[in-house]
Structure 1
Amino acid sequence: MRWLAGVFALCMALSGLVRAEVAEVYDFDTRAEEQRYQQLISELRCPKCQNQNIADSNAPISKDMRDEVYRMMQGGSSNDEIVGALVDRFGEFVQYKPPVDNRTILLWAFPAIATIGGFLIVVGVVWRARGRDDEPPLSSEDRARAEQILASNGDKTERP
């Protein structure tokens, strides 16, 4: 009797370690359809998991998305229609490769624009600094007046 209780406790402990997963089984007519399905679910991101595609995610939302992809494929929808339906439902985040539009162009071009802008600012500052060095020399009158001012200041500082 005691050994039966020990076996039961061991089974309970091991059941927490073993996770039973039910594999999804979808019937495809051809190998090409199955490959198309695998490609689609690997290109769509799970909205809950953030950085996992729906093929690898165990989240319930990913299962729903996989079911929807399969259902739409069986209904004769194209890849663009399937992706479009899921984007309409879950947002553009579900695409790993978002389409190119005004927002994405600005997003990708901003680092280059910022670098070129910074370079132009540096060139402008250097150009202005060099332009200041090319000031004309003092005229003879201005030089005499500056020497007079320096001489008079020298007299004031030398007095105790």
Structure 2
Amino acid sequence: MLGQVHRRGYHLRSVWRLPATPARCWEVLADPAMTWPTWWPRMSARDVHVSPDGTLGSRAWLRFRSPLGYHLAVHLTVTGLEVGSSATLRVTGDLEGRAHVQVEADGTPGRSLVRVLWDVRTVRPWMNLTGPLLAPVFARAHAHVMAAGERGLTRHLTDGHPSA
């Protein structure tokens, strides 16, 4: 019998540099209909629930396919919000913890920075078991998925067409 396997914690940061104003970036990122899969490759959404006011309590299941072939399903619920600038999300599913998104001007007119912080622990037994060895690989896979999101959003903002 295997001993108890502890969940591995990850503190992951991404910074996206985007060719649009903070207001425009916020409009796309905070879309209550959760249309992210139209521009974010390897992501799908289901069970999108928009709260009555379209903000706190809104939630959805997102599924990401990593470049290594495994999938992660996470349930995001908006738990904190500063309209136009930041959102905090509770994360459950294959990961648990929280995510925080901050949208701000980058100092160049018409451009923005989006800072995304994931403070999560793995839930899937195979990830907990292999985490001591594969943590750097999981972090690189996360960076790849986030970079694909940045590229997809950049295309969406500049030409208005969904990415493939």
Structures share a fold, TM > 0.5? no
Greater share of helix: 1
Q: Which has the larger radius of gyration?
A: 1
Greater share of strand: 2
- Return the structure number with greater relative CO, CA threshold 8 A, min gap 6: 2
TM-score under structure 1 normalisation?
Answer: 0.27
